[in-house]
A = this chain, B = another copy of it.
């Protein structure tokens, strides 16, 4: 049994609260246990320079952590004057993941910016961000469809993400902070609802991992992501939109 009583292949309690803030076209508070991320989707009529006049759209992401989202306070990136390497890496991952289910022609020449801001961190902030950002993005697209700004749905699938890792020699799903900080290996997986991979990022923190360990972690991720996809659908069916 894990330190919080979960089974090896068990997610933490997942919650997605749509309409958490009022201004954004999509606004979702996603919780993976104690990890809480506010994901907003903002529609802009202004695309990056390389797309101007192309008729094609863009989806991008920015990630941030409130200074005291963590056990000890981190410097505020705005005050330091630059985003750290970890932040840059994560926001690039979120953006790539969500672009993977978007038809940019169908989106038309507009941009959607996904802001993922961690209010409280307890491991898995990047996977919670991707999973929640998909719901925020979906809400924004639904708004555009309802308003008639979009004629055709540009999204062709769901995206969710989960972490797996090897803790105390055992592969486990959805690591919280105490597990993450002692894991020997950490594997983040992003998948669509057709069961295919969008991103696979595995890192040996302590000892290098063998092929059979990788296979076991991939299987755990597949199981977890299927549950997250179900949770996303449930949120969209039951929850109120922003």
Contact = CB atoms under 8 A, between A and B. Distances in A.
A196 B209 contact: yes
The copy count of this chain in the complex is 6
A69 B21 contact: yes
A233 interface: no
Contact of A100 (B82, B88, B89, B208): B208
Contacts of A71: 23
A60 to B, nearest CB: 11
Contact of A78 (B34, B36, B87): B87
A70 B24 CA distance: 8
Interface in A6-37: 21-24, 27, 34, 36
A203 B96 contact: yes
A86 B78 CA distance: 13
Given A76-B115, A211-B197, A66 B81 contact: no
Interface residues of A, number: 64
Interface string A44-58: 100000000000000
Interface string A162-204: 0000000000000000000000000100011011111111111
Given A78-B87, A85-B89, A196-B208, 4 more contacts: A38-B66, A64-B66, A66-B115, A96-B203
Closest 10 CB pairs of A and B: A196-B208, A77-B78, A200-B202, A42-B73, A40-B68, A78-B78, A85-B88, A24-B68, A21-B120, A198-B204
